[in-house]
Amino acid sequence: MMFKNLSIIRRILPLSLVEFLEDIRYLGLPVPIKTVRPHTLLSNLNLFFLKELAQRVERMGIPGDFVECGVYRGGSAGVLAYEMINSKLARRLWLYDAFAGMPAASELDDKYSVAIQGQFIGSEAQTRRIMQRLNIPEEDFEIVVGWFEDTLPKAEKGPIALLHIDCDFYDPVKLSLETFYQYVQPGGYVVINDYGAFQGCRIATDEFLNHLDEKVQLVQIDREAYFFQKPQ
Ligand SMILES: C[S@@+](CC[C@H](N)C(=O)[O-])C[C@H]1O[C@@H](n2cnc3c(N)ncnc32)[C@H](O)[C@@H]1O
């Protein structure tokens, strides 16, 4: 109910006023966290950790782009972009989402996943607005709109320093790993945002990792998110 009221307020007030009120509400948080806070499902801890991983690949000089599968309203994407734009390496941010709500769950997904089919309808416009507010040059990021089944096979492939997988269900998580992991550079990071929260995401990740020759260590960030480093 509370959430519905907020979205009504967002629709009736001018955008600049809504953003001003949100800025006041999240005054205690640093940029870019406060800018993305109203538009992300990630916890603050998870957002800070994403920021830290983006800074770590920079400190370690790991080459490659940042890739996100599951953008929603552009919250976590804003954090990735903000950390990436001052990179000494030529990086770009690739953002993949259908912006059409969660797809059908598979038989490997849990009851909670079935319940959220069709929900979380994101927005390319909102994602662009976050990028604009964070002064991210348009040429530094690419939004690829469509279902992963259609877009990932045709995706532009190159070295990846940081892969953020935030698409909840078995099929999209598995496809994201199968498509992009091979391009993650040694020492680069993979964040599996829903490993602790969604059964299908956990099964897809475990299946994928069990078939790798190299063994990786999953590390917990918060209740939902885990990450691992590709062995060097
Ligand atoms: C949990 S939301 C992402 C949250 C976001 N990273 C944030 O900062 O709040 C999951 C997103 O994955 C997208 N998604 C899931 N499965 C997909 C698929 N097969 N193809 C395209 N997009 C998909 C949904 O549209 C949704 O926007």
- For the chain, the domains span 1-30, 39-229
pTM here is 0.95
Residue 193's alpha-carbon distances to 119, 198, 222, in angstroms, are 17, 9, 9
Q: What was the pLDDT predicted at 11? A: 78
pLDDT of residue 77: 98
Q: Supply the pLDDT for residue 9.
A: 75
- Ligand 1 in contact with 194 (CB < 6 A)? no
Query: What stretches in the chain show pLDDT beneath 50?
Result: 1-3
Specify the pLDDT at position 10: 75
Fold of 39-229: Rossmann fold (3.40.50)
Position 224: which residue type? E
Q: Indicate if ligand 1 lies below 6 Å from the C-beta of 48.
A: no
CA atoms within 13 A on the CB side of 96: 25
Q: How far apart are CA 124 and CA 141, in angstroms?
A: 12
Ligand 1 centroid – CA 75 distance (Å): 11
pLDDT value at residue 1: 38
Predicted confidence at residue 6, as pLDDT, reads 65
CA 211–ligand 1 middle distance (angstroms)? 25
pLDDT score for 138? 98
pLDDT given for residue 93 in this prediction: 98
Cβ of 67 closer than 6 Å to ligand 1, yes or no, is no
Of the candidates 206, 166, 171, 160, the one whose C-alpha atom is nearest the C-alpha of residue 72 is 166
CB neighbours (10 Å) of residue 51?
Answer: 18
Spatial separation of the C-alpha atoms in residues 131 and 32, rounded to whole Å: 10
65 lines ligand 1 (CB under 6 A): no
Cα end-to-end distance, the chain, whole Å: 49
